[in-house]
Amino acid sequence: MTTKTFKHMLTLEELTPTDLDELIRLAIDVKRHPDAYGTALAGKKVALLFEKASTRTRISFEVGVVELGGYPLFLSGSDLQIGRGEPITDTIRVMSRYVDALMIRTYAHETVETLATAGSIPIINGLTDTHHPCQVLADLLTIEETFGTRQGKVLTYIGDGNNMAHSLMLGGALSGMHIRVASPDGYTVDETIYNQAVALAETTGGSVTLYGDPAEATVGAHVVYTDVFASMGQEAEAETRLAHFASFQVDETLMASARDEAIFLHCLPAHRGEEVTADVMDGPQSLVFDQAENRLHAQKALMITLLA
């Protein structure tokens, strides 16, 4: 029996630790017994709006809705009137009368906040420039499967203080994990979100710590995590970023600083030879493709919780 306290999935901060525990437990059961949930969204219509290109988010949500017995509607921002200037407040008011939920992958985080305020249906953040909560649900599911628990585990994130770093801090703090974020000067995480994560961690026995040295941050880690150094929309900065992040590449030497049982995670797509070497990305400690698969199961659990 769910004790859900949230209506939307925007940042992870709207969850309680109990909400998160229940989502992870449900995701594990959905993964083990998919047929048992084949009608969980029967009659439900879920709009999937993409203003940013996608591989894993699009496929996992579209397949997930179908496997739960619902009906997905793929929408491109350029195909809707918002691409021609219609206020998103008008768009979501109309959509709220047609569909049961909206998943959106977009740029400004303010967009999903406005949709949640103006609409009357659950809004799921498939990615913004500030947060990527659905990816982190899959990450936490992968950690739970690997170690049997998230509580007390050390996750070291190495790279840009971007949406992945923000959501990992929040999700890790809710889990009672010890999150370490190592970034170069000028590329650190948002201070407000960092403070939010620190406050959450104080209630769960976890911690959130910032580092400038990736080697120091990796010592004793259970999970080593990275992301591309130049995200979508930052292509013009790629050369400059590569120079600043040169010493932040995850390689076998860095992985050796972590625990023997440590795993490597990456939200994908990956650039082998930049943020991670091929021998780590494709090595025995890498669970990146299990992690990618878990997008499907975690998001199915999320949609069941919000809609069923």
Instruction: Point out the residues that are catalytic.
Output: 105, 132, 135, 227, 267, 295
- Tell me: is residue 295 an annotated ligand-binding position: yes
Three-state secondary-structure class, residue 227: coil
- Tell me: is residue 284 an annotated ligand-binding position: no
- Tell me: is residue 266 an annotated ligand-binding position: no
Distance separating alpha carbons of residues 60 and 190, to the nearest angstrom: 29
- Tell me: is residue 105 an annotated ligand-binding position: yes
**Tokens standing for 247?**
């010493």
Give the number of other CB atoms < 10 A from CB of residue 186. 8
Q: List 161's β-bridge partners, or say none.
A: none
Give the number of other CB atoms < 10 A from CB of residue 197. 28
- Tell me: is residue 163 an annotated ligand-binding position: yes
- Tell me: is residue 56 an annotated ligand-binding position: yes
Helices (H), 96-248: 109-118, 133-147, 163-174, 191-204, 214-218, 238-244
Angle between helices 163-174 and 133-147 (to 10 degrees): 50
- Tell me: is residue 247 an annotated ligand-binding position: no
- Tell me: is residue 175 an annotated ligand-binding position: no
Q: What are phi and psi of 210, to 5 degrees?
A: -100, 140
Give the number of other CB atoms < 10 A from CB of residue 273. 10
Distance separating alpha carbons of residues 95 and 120, to the nearest angstrom: 9
- Tell me: is residue 133 an annotated ligand-binding position: yes
- Tell me: is residue 55 an annotated ligand-binding position: yes
Binding-site residue positions for L-ornithine: 163, 227, 231-232
